[in-house]
Structure 1
Amino acid sequence: MSRIAETFARLRGEGRVALMPYLTVGFPERESTLDLVPALEAAGASLFELGMPFSDPLADGATIQRATQRALENGVNLASCIETVAALRARGVAAPMLLMGYYNPLIRYGVERACADLAAAGGDGWIIPDMPPEESAELHAASAAHGLDLIMFVAPTTPDERIAAIAAQASGFIYIVSLTGVTGARASMSADLSGILDRVRRVSDLPLVVGFGISSAAHVADVARFADGAIVGSALIARLEGLPAADLVSGAVDFVADLLGGAAAPSGGV
C-alpha cells in the first residue's frame, strides 16, 4: 500500500479528512520549505502539495503567481524541488509529498528521469494541471513504473463520460476542482460541491480531495461533509506573505491548526 493510500485509510479510521497544505518550494526564501513542512506535519497536516516554480502558472491566481516568481528569483527549479523532497525525508517527514506544477519543466528535465529521481528522493507523485488525460501516456507509464501516483483533475464542468475516462487513469486520489477559474481564496464554497463529488463517486472508489478556494476552517468543515480531503493553497501563501521571517513557521502552524478544526468534522468520503 502506498503512503497516500495508507494515509487515507488511517484518516478514515480516525473519522477525519485529510488537510493538504500547498507550499511553493523556495518561498518565501529558498530554504523555507525545509522548515515549514516538518512543522506543519507536526501540527497535523496529512499530505503536502509542493509547488514547482514555473514562469507561466496558468491554473494559479495572483497569490501563487507571486510566490512562484519569488521562488524563481531564489533560484528554485525542478531539480531543487526534488532535492527538497529528499532533504525533507532525511529530516524525518513521513507524510506523502507530491510535486505540483506544469509539464514543460518535466519535458525539459526528462520525464523518465524526473520520475526516477522523484521516487528515489522519497516523493509520492505528481499533480500536473496542464496535463490532459489524452496526453498523459508517457508520464502515466513512467510514474507507474517508479511507484508514483499521477493525480487527475475533475472540474464542475467535466461531463460524465470524461469523468469516467479520467477515473480509469487516476491513482492516489482524484483532485476535485471546486469551482471554475484559477486558484485563490474565496468567501464561500460552491453550492454544488456535493453534486460533482457524487458524479465522481459513481465511477471511482479513490479518495476525493477538494481544492481551489478553500481558506477557512468553515470551508474545510463544509468539504468534510462530502469529501476525503481539502487542499489549502492561496490562503496559506497569503498568510506567509504577511509574516516576518521570525514568525513564519509559528504563523503557518497557527493557521493550519485553525483549519484542522474543520478537518475533525465527520467525513462523507469513502
Structure 2
Amino acid sequence: LAPVLLQVFGEGLQPIAYESRKLNPAERNYPVHDKELLAIVHAFKVWRCYLTGADVTVRTDHKSLQFIRAQPTLNPRQIRWLDYLDLAAVRHTSASDGQTERTNQTMEQLIRTTCTDPAQWEDSLLLIEFVYNNAPSATTTQSPFFLNYGIDPTTPLSPPIENPAPRSQQFVENLRQSQQKAADAIFKANQWAKQQANRRCHDLNLAPGQLVLLDTRNLGMPLPNKLQPRFCGPFRIIRMGFCRRVAAGAALSLSSTSTTPLNRAASPI
C-alpha cells in the first residue's frame, strides 16, 4: 500500500504526506478489488487528522471502485469498509452544537401552534420571530431583544399615551412583580440544587505524619480492578503539596514512596 496525500497549491497539486506498508499474509489473499479499497481505507485512517472536515477527492487507477456501490452483492469486508468511509465523509452541521437544534425545535413548535395552514407557514415566520425575540428567557429573565438593544420593542399592545389608565398601570406593575418573583424563585432553585450537589463535597484536612488509606485505582495492583480491594494501607503522609507523598509498603510491589493526587486521596484514619 502506497497512498499519497496531495493538496491544491497554486495551479497544481503538492504532496503533503506519504504512507507505505506491506500487506500481511491475510491481506495478500484479497482480490485486487479489495486491495485497492483497502488502500483507500488505510489512507483515511492514517490521515484522519488532515481529512476530517475537508473536501476530499480520491484518485485511483482502479476504475471499478467508482461503481462499487452499484454492485448487487458485497462481501462483509466491503460493507464494513464502506460504512467506515461514510463515517469519514460526514460533514459538521450547524445543528450539531445543541443550541441551534434546540432553537429550531422551539421555532417549529411555535409554527405548529400558530399556523392553521401548514402550507403558509412562511407568512407567519416574521411574527413568530418577533415573539421569540421579545419573550423573556427563563435563565436570564430578560428577552433577547432587550439584551441586545437595551429596550423593549413597541408592540401593538403598547399604550400609545404617556399616562395610561390607572388600572392598566396597576396591571403592568403586578406583572413586573410576578416576573421578579419568578426570577427570585429561579435563583433559590439554583441555590438549592447547588447545595444538594455540594453535600458530598468537603475538604480533607490532612497533615504530615497522619495515617491514610490509599485509593487502589491510582496504584498498579497485580489483581484486576474488580477483585482488588477498594483501599489499602494504612500509610503515613511524608509531605503535603499539590500531591500527597506517602510511605508505601513493599507488599504492594511499589517503591518506598508513592505520590497520590489530591482529588483521589482516601479517607484519613
User: For this structure pair, what is the TM-score category when the shorter chain's length is used for normalisation?
Assistant: under 0.3
Normalised by the length of structure 1, the TM-score is 0.18
Greater C-alpha Rg = 2
Normalised by the length of structure 2, the TM-score is 0.18
